[in-house]
Amino acid sequence: MTDSDDDAAAGAPGTPESSLPAETRIGRAALRVADLDEATAFYRDVVGLVVLDRDAERATLGVDGTPLLVLERDADRPARGRTDAGLFHAAFRVPSRAALGEALGRVRERWRLDGASDHLVSEALYLDDPEGNGVEIYRDRPR
């Protein structure tokens, strides 16, 4: 067996064996934040998630009892500059154009919209959270 045979057998990146199935989903994401109260309020009141669990150091937010985002307090974390590495953005898919419109209303009322885009296959809103992490709220167009 050659090295390339070993890679194919192991499902190395770039081989057909490594393709993800269509039903693949990501689990919850975690962010470290300097101000847990402010970040929790943003993801609850602007993005529209529900607080599922909360203590002094951590908040878990989600939809319909499913955790999607964990915010962890890290008060000693230095502020991230615009050129520092970090999360580019987290995307939250909503089920309909009406739900995207409701999200736009929350953003306009409580925050600031950085941009919007029609990607032909989806429509998206873009904003930054209080820590400077990008947030996308989008809906897929019907196929």
User: What is the value of pTM for the model shown?
Assistant: 0.78
Task: Report the C-alpha gap between 123 and 50 in whole angstroms.
Answer: 23
Distance CA 96, CA 142 (A): 9
**Of residues 112, 131, 140, the one with CA closest to residue 104:** 112
> What is the rounded distance in angstroms from the CA atom of residue 137 to the CA atom of residue 127?
9
10-48 residue pLDDT tens: 545 555 565 767 777 777 889 999 999 999 999 999 999
The predicted-structure confidence for 84-124, as pLDDT tens digits, reads as follows 766 678 899 999 999 999 999 999 999 999 999 999 999 99
Domains of the chain: 26-76+87-140 (3.10.180.10)
The CA-atom distances, in angstroms, between 84 and each of 71, 81, 112, 134 are 20, 5, 22, 13
